[in-house]
A and B are shown apart, each in its own frame.
Chain A
Amino acid sequence: METTVRTTHHAEAAAAFLRDEENVDWHNETLWFVRSKRDKAATLLPEWEDLREQASRIKNHALSRLDDYLVELEKNAQQNGITVHWASDAEEHNRIVLDIMRQHNATQVVKSKSMLTEECHLNPYLIKHGIDVVDTDLGERIVQLRNEPPSHIVLPAIHLKKKHIGDLFHQHLGTDAGATDPQYLTEAARIHLRQKFLLADVAITGVNFAVAETGGFVVCTNEGNADLGAHLAKVHIASMGIEKVIPKGEHLGVFLRLLARSATGQTTTTYSSHFRRPAPGQTMHLILVDNGRTRQLASPDFRNSLKCIRCGACMNTCPVYRRSGGHSYHTAIAGPIGSILAPNIDMKQYADLPFASTLCGSCTNVCPVKIDIHQQLYKWRQVLGEAGAVEPAKKVGMTGMDVLFSRPSLYRFAGRAGRRLMKLFPSLANNGKLNPWAIHRDMPKPPAQSFRDWYAEQEKK
């Protein structure tokens, strides 16, 4: 089936990001610095590689019995007084959240970082229905005030410099004009958000891990925002993708050792909170969301991506992500792992993303749960190619190469013609409009002879 789709989103958006060269350099170097901190944290544990293997195997097991563990989680959570909901897609998830808010006549909600609610586009939905929704992670609040999505799952405002944030806070929070001191700006955000925490009717959090055995779930933050929200509001709604369930409490030890080390190089997050029962006078809801995950599970090629624990290590190490910025991926989860997950949600809209990779394999090497990320990106390219979802120019090029490489004499002729052409009209080869490869590079001088000719000559000698 042939379909015509626009598939150049990523390249175009990356080109826009690349215009501010200084900012790109900073972005690249900062994320590499975080990646280096991850390396240091990893090498301090002699068992690091075995730990990754164990985590990977626990996740493989959990996925192979996902139905059982979800039922067990549900049963135990309900016994503990948590109301459990199931949502097939984003729309159903958002409706459940709104229904809960309406049951409690709630109009103000504080949200702590939950990439799932980003994936479901919960904020615009709630705002449309008259709910005041405030993101409380500092980075998320910054991008929310800018009407932008996060550009990184762990460092949501990593694409911004302190000057941008100083201007933003001057405009919205009344900080001094031109102020850029992170300490001062963070203090202003603390005061502003403290009011939101104290007034919120409902708190929404994500879930890092849910434990079938106990019916509880774990939420990890450095700022303490998830806890402040959840403990002060009368109602706590936790939203989780169904793949977040693990069998037992003892498995948390494995994942908590890996999560922060892989994310930021810290040995642990500041707060790792284990919720199991609502506090007296409070109400707790747990929403189990599918939104394409069962489809991913049913695909042997791509189900491995459901092991992801959302540490962001693959983004920090990715040479493409670091130089193109998270927004160029136009999906809730940017970078290598997001480029596997997004086409599963909408193959046409995200057909460009599996091509936004060098396939260098660095993402796979740092993944704490051993997802074969670059191999899955490679597989997506084939699936997209077969579905006719590949960018037309790319497709023409590939078909051309197929013809060329399968006919040796044509290949030799093309080589000769190319060398001659480049020698006679070098400006033609370096014209970015005719040759997109030359947009960011100068073409080399053509060699006098081909390797094949040279080799033949050597043989004669």
Chain B
Amino acid sequence: MSRERILSAIRQGKPDLQPLPDVIGFPSNIADADLADTFLTMVKTNGGIGVRANSLDDVRAQIASEYDLTLPTLSHVDGLDLNNFTPTENLRLLDDLNLVVLEGSVAVAENAAIWFNEATLGIRALPFITLNVVAVVSARNLVGTMHEVYKRIDLNTGFGTFIAGPSKTADIEQSLVIGAHGSKTMTVFLMP
């Protein structure tokens, strides 16, 4: 059986035990006071739009002015009911979605990656199939680095993803194009 053959070949050929480093990761180079600014700068670098918002009413007003809310919209953020679309069992119908609004549980200042777990996504395909994504993140949930974020997230969920901006590609002569297969825009609202 291949399993036994592979494991036995590893046992015969592997090197002597090499120790793991005692401490994994490095302290952040970003001061706490700069986390929000660094994060918003990185959102822009990633091709997204970063906006400070004071309240959910503020977020709602800004979304309404930026996006056509008569088009299929789904929000999974508590207190931000913008739903005019009922997903069915057939995930392929999600292809109609114009806008998905999601709450990021933790976000990383050094690269503007925002963590979405299965609970906040509801349906895994949502942020990938929609044309536009809005993320709402609290400044209290900002960390400096990828090392810190792994201390804050639970990897024991079925699925979770870091999203850092709209989808992009540079496969045609290295020209950056925003909007490959995933969302074409990503707006991030940073709440207090």
| Residues of chain A having any CB pair with chain B under 8 Å | 30, 33-34, 45-47, 50-51, 54, 57-58, 60-61, 63-67, 70-71, 80, 86-88, 92, 136-139, 142, 155-158, 160-162, 165, 182-183, 185-187, 190, 193-194, 197-198, 211, 213-214, 216, 222-225, 227-228, 231-232, 242, 247, 249-254, 256-257, 264, 266-279, 281, 288, 290, 294-295, 297-300, 303
Contact = CB atoms under 8 A, between A and B. Distances in A.
A70 B148 CA distance: 26
A190 B181 contact: yes
Contacts of B111: 267-268
Given A61-B20, A228-B182, A290-B6, A271 B155 contact: no
B175 A182 contact: yes
A229 to B, nearest CB: 9
A86 B6 contact: yes
A298 B149 CA distance: 36
A438 to B, nearest CB: 35
Contacts of A303: 13, 15
Given A254-B24, A294-B13, A270 B155 contact: no
Contacts of B34: none
A290 B3 CA distance: 10
A250 B150 contact: yes
Interface residues of B, number: 74
A279 B12 CA distance: 38
Interface string B1-35: 11101110111111111111100111001000000
Interface string B72-110: 000000000000000001011001000000000000101
Kindly name the residue among B16, B129, B149 whose own CB sees the greatest number of chain A CB atoms within 10 A.
B129
Contacts of A187: 179
Nearest to B160: A274
B161 A64 contact: no
Interface stretch (B61-69, B134-142, B164-172): B164-172
A162 B6 contact: no
Given A54-B21, A279-B158, 7 more contacts: A63-B15, A86-B1, A160-B173, A232-B129, A250-B150, A254-B25, A295-B13
